[in-house]
Structure 1
Amino acid sequence: MTQHLANSPESGDIFAGLEAGLDAPTDKGPGNFDAHHPPDKALIDDCVHCGFCLPTCPTYALWGEEMDSPRGRIYLMDMVREGTASLDEPLVRHFDTCLGCMACVTACPSGVQYDKLLESMRPQIERHHERGRGDRTFRELIFALFPYPRRLRVAALGGLFYQRSGLAGVVRRRRLLDRLPPRLRALEALLPPVKVRDLVASPPERVAAVGTPRRRVAVLTGCVQRVFFTGVNAATVRTLAAEGCEVLIPRDQECCGALSMHSGREPEALERARRTIATFEAHDVDAIVVNVAGCGSTMKEYGTLLRDDPEWADRATAFSAKVRDVTEVLAELEPRAPRHPIQARVAYHDACHLGHAQRVRAAPRAVLRTIPGVEVVDLPEAELCCGSAGVYNLLEPEAASDLGQRKAANVRSVHPDAVATANPGCLLQMRRHLDDPGLPLLHPIELVDASIRGEALPTQK
């Protein structure tokens, strides 16, 4: 057994007082799965084990282990389905270390739907695998914090004190972080710069279109995005309005459930999906605009997620049909707001859940190229994940760090003036590993907004 499998991550005794139970198992299914949507045998058999997925798989690139490749994980699913393997710790580790980046789906010439297989495998694991106390508790703390913007703001205030009081410098100089478990060290390292004005910012509920209205849209403000990247949301609203969109920002929106779904917490994810649908379907809009790749990916799949719910299935399908990434909306609209030049070489990083999961690659580049003076350049190994992958960089910090350093080296190799990517997790991950305050890391919409407003290249925030 390789070292990364032998050592299951622990979070330490600091969380000793918290416990989390597993969901009750359902009826017996094939092999060692239950009957609730186990990995589909027909989808498993689509894999011909050709190996085209191997160069694009981050964990195979790191370790070269067959069972840490997509085809290896599919083989493990088949073994569990046949009853020759169980959901024990060694097998589960192979799936915990999967980033769910879906690069293999893009690369596969046979059209293997690894995304559907993984999203059916992870809930089975969460229902039937008993995690260690530290691992279970750390996961519960993540999901008690990140989907709740109000709680995140309170945590951010603590981060603000930590950064501005000088405590962060003392901790690092004395190497106190070295005494913490890797997961807590990663949490500290990923903490973004916090500004009070961002924590108290409140967007309007409606912004009128500039000039003749062309569309009526509603915007998802997100969870982490709402707290730590308020500038991205503001730029999104301004740009859409400038391009003739009436913009609605529902105040009562909550977490969309993306983090929960990607982690196999299915009941929680489905409840969040229902609430999101109910919130947005109260507004008559042409599109539901998302500026977070992971959220958009999940929201576009609500119809599949809620297929078993007769009350919500059709509503979910109708909702998903309206979900669009902000760059998709802008790429469809002939630019109307004048762009001012920004002379910059911009490295564009495809967020996995935008490029691989949603297959949205051309739109962000096309939108950036509407800015006079911008040169858009792609990165080497563009298909490889940066290591963020939702909360992966917290749950699997060593692997995520290796991937983050690899991505940072590829960014430096193209000598950009700025980096653009459409996901907050990617921005945090690359900010950590590039460690270059002079290199702006931005959402593409921030560059478009700056061009429309006649501003210079935005600086690092």
Structure 2
Amino acid sequence: MTAPEELPKLIDDCVHCGFCLPTCPTYVLWGEEMDSPRGRIHLMKQHAEGTPLTPSMAGHFDACLGCMACVTSCPSGVQYDRLIEVTRAQVEQEHPRTRGERAIRGMVFALFPYPRRLRALRGPLRAYRRSGLDRAVRRTGLLERISPSLAAMERLAPAPGRAPRLPERVAARGDRRATVGMLTGCVQREFFPGVNAATARVLALEGCDVVVPRHQGCCGALSLHSGRADEARAFARRTVEAFEGVDVIVVNAAGCGSAMKEYADLLSGDPAWAARAEALGARTRDLAEFLVELGPRAERHPVPATVAYHDACHLSHAQGVRAQPRALLAGIPGLTVREIADPEICCGSAGTYNLFQPEAAGELGDRKAENVRATGAELLVAANPGCSMQIAAALRRRGEEIAVAHTAELLDASLRGLGRAGVLTQ
């Protein structure tokens, strides 16, 4: 991971041109210079030159979504992704959080990176949703008064279905073309199990043996993107160990894939793990990225539906994967794909952002929901569980509902000949 002493050079790469401004979600919302990438870089420079980290400075850094849209738009190649990760780590070390902030952050990081703990919530959460108690709780506004973060967590949580465990190996259909490892994730595994099942089936139908290591855990993405570097390194080491021995690791959650591709930087200071981390990062592929590289073999059947494709920030900006999901969707007969306006602007999910900054996240979610609604699509396609929950929750606030699916689920329905009903009933 970039060391603090390297910050001055990275900071000086910024020429303050302003190309980042119209792509920065918080600048778009508030028009405040210190809530733009170049404004935050100015604050980073002040801190690097000896200015103590003030609560105001920490607030501007906390307000950043880490969406990396500025990295895409920057003509000078400023590595804002590295700058904000180092700065977040400094904030966590130097900025005293309030008791309430410590409690919420402690709960989030004690829960979300641990699939077994998430699994324990599935039954109670399902019963809570089905009983209608959720609607009663929201009408009272009680959670909002106790903690906006708790209220956001309650609104975002989906009603999880059954989660059958994937076998440790799914055999290729027909001649084997590749052997791939598959990350099952945390939230993806426990709240969107259908995405993982669809991913494994699609890979198998395209001729891949799919290895699903039983002892894999959290990849560390949430920790890495929140300044918890030591915690992220521990998760990264475990992930590296779990996937050694496979040629390619396929990931179906944008934030996870982005983090795993950064392992070389994260573990660069650890001689025992640096080379292994670099090797894993080089073998990591987003599902859409891998399938386009592999090329189609299985027959595509029609899925007559109109979908809106959402660019997850850690897929489009952090990994540069934009054309591949669209190419896969375009290969499905009968499918009409509509573009969402302002695709570069984050939906407000951003890992844990919608829990720690619920007001700003809500505004961004509303903007994205309006743009999704304007497409007239009957189905939203997204490649990150946080985005799916965020946009679906924003639409519910408007009194609207839309079916949400992952690219893998569209492909699965097409390859198995399930048609439109195969995705609209997910």
Alignment of 1:77-96 (within 5 A): 77-83=44-50, 85-96=51-62
Residue 41 of structure 2 aligns to a residue in which SS?
helix
What is the Cα deviation at residue 71 of structure 1? 0.1
Q: Does 1:328 align with 2:293?
A: no
Give the corresponding residue for 1:49. Answer: 16
1:65 paired with 2:32, answer yes
Residues 124/174 of structure 1: CA separation in 2 closer, same or farther (3 Å cut): closer
Once the two structures are superposed, residues 86-145 of structure 1 have per-residue CA deviations (whole angstroms, 9 ceiling, x without a partner) of: 212110000001000000000011111111111111111111111111101210110000
Deviation per CA, 1:164-196: give whole Å up to 9, x if none: 23322332344444433211110110010122x
- 3-state DSSP of counterpart to 1:40: helix
The one-letter code sitting in structure 1 at the alignment partner of 2:317 is H
Cα gap change, 1:239 to 1:115, in 2 (>3 Å): same
Aligned counterpart, 2:298: 337
**Partner Cα distance (1:56, 1:166) in 2:** 39
Of stretches 341-350 and 286-295 in structure 1, the one that deviates more from structure 2 is 341-350
Q: Compute the displacement of 1:333 (Å).
A: 2.0
Q: Distance in 1 between matches of 2:188 and 2:240?
A: 19
Kindly tell me: are residues 460 and 78 of structure 1, through their superposed partners in 2, closer, same or farther at Cα, counting changes over 3 Å?
farther
Q: Write the letter of the residue equivalent to 2:23.
A: T
Q: How much has 1:460 moved relative to structure 2?
A: 5.4
Correspondence for 2:395 among 414, 418, 434: 434
* Counterpart among 259, 263, 273 of residue 312 in structure 1: 273
Q: Label 1:409 to 1:166 Cα distance change in 2 as closer, same or farther (>3 A).
A: closer
Name the SS of the counterpart of 2:424 in structure 1. coil
Is the 1:87–1:129 contact (alpha carbons within 8 Å) kept by the matching residues of 2? yes
Amino acid at match of 2:267: L
Q: Which residue of 2 aligns with 1:24?
A: none
Contact 1:438–1:459 under 8 Å retained in 2: no
TM-score normalised to structure 2 length: 0.96
- The residue number in structure 2 matching 1:459 is 424
Q: Distance in 2 between matches of 1:460 and 1:393?
A: 27
Match of 2:4 among 37, 42, 46: 37
1:252 corresponds in structure 2 to 215
Partner deviation per Cα, 1:172-229 (whole Å, 9 max, x = no partner): 344444433211110110010122x22xx21100011111110100000000001000
Partner of residue 205, structure 1 = 168
Q: Quick one: which amino acid aligns to residue 42 of structure 1?
A: K
- Indicate conservation of the 8 Å contact 1:346/1:417, yes or no: yes
Structure 1 residue runs without a partner (length 5+): 1-34
1:365 equivalent to 2:332? Answer no
State how far apart, in whole Å, the 2-side matches of 1:96 and 1:454 are: 46
Which deviates further from its counterpart, 431-440 or 235-244? 431-440
**CA distance 1:38–1:204, change in 2 (3 Å):** same
User: Which residue of structure 1 aligns with residue 248 of structure 2?
Assistant: 287
2:229 maps to 1:266: yes
Distance 2:173 2:9 in 1: 51
Distance 1:177 1:255 in 2: 28
Structure 1: distance between partners of 2:3 and 2:76: 26
2:335 is aligned to: 374
Whether 1:157 aligns to 2:123 is yes
CA contact (8 A) 1:438 1:460 kept: no
Distance verdict in 2 for CA 1:207–1:44, change over 3 Å: same
Deviations 1:333-366 (A, max 9, x none): 2211111111122211110000000011111111
TM-score of the superposed pair, with normalisation by structure 1? 0.89
- The whole-number CA distance in structure 2 between the counterparts of 1:94 and 1:173 is 32
Query: Which residue type is aligned with residue 410 of structure 1?
Result: N
Aligned-partner SS, 1:270: helix
Q: Which runs of 5+ in 2 are unaligned?
A: none
Q: 2:41 — aligned with what?
A: 74
Please tell me whether residue 298 in structure 1 is matched to residue 229 in structure 2: no
Give the equivalent residue in structure 2 for 1:398. Answer: 359
Three-state SS of the structure 2 residue aligned to 1:324 is strand
Is the 8 Å Cα contact of residues 392 and 401 (structure 2) preserved in structure 1? no
Deviates more, 1:350-359 or 1:128-137: 128-137
Q: Distance in 2 between matches of 1:175 and 1:289?
A: 41
The total of aligned residue pairs comes to 421
Query: Deviation at 1:277?
Result: 0.4
CA distance in 1, matches of 2:282, 2:54: 38
In structure 2, relative to structure 1, the CA distance for the partners of 1:333 and 1:184 (3 Å cut) is same
Q: Match for residue 65 of structure 2? A: 99
> AA paired with 1:110?
S
- Tell me, in whole angstroms, the C-alpha distance in 2 between the residues paired with 1:101 and 1:174: 33
Shift of residue 42, structure 1, vs aligned partner: 1.3
Shift in Å at residue 437 of structure 1? 6.7
- How large is the Cα RMSD of the aligned pairs? 1.4
Deviates more, 1:149-158 or 1:203-212: 149-158
- Which of 303, 307, 315 matches 1:346? 307
Paired with 1:219 and 1:143, the residues of 2 have a C-alpha distance of 23
The one-letter code matched in structure 1 to 2:199 is: T
Equivalent residue for 1:113?
79
2:386 corresponding residue in structure 1: 425
**In structure 2, what residue type is equivalent to 1:74?**
I
- After TM superposition, the structure 1 stretch with the greater mean CA deviation from structure 2, 126-135 or 232-241, is 126-135
Helix, strand or coil: the match of 1:218?
Answer: strand
* Residues 207, 248 of structure 1: 8 Å contact kept: yes
Structure 1 CA distance for aligned equivalents of residues 116 and 262 of structure 2? 26
SS at match of 1:316: helix
Partner of 1:385: 346
SS across alignment from 1:337: coil
Q: How does 1:18-33 map to 2 (within 5 A)?
A: none
- Report the identity percentage: 58
The answer for the alignment partner of 1:181 in structure 2 is 147
Deviation track 1:42-79 (CA, whole Å, cap 9, x = no partner) reads 11111111111000000001111000000000000000
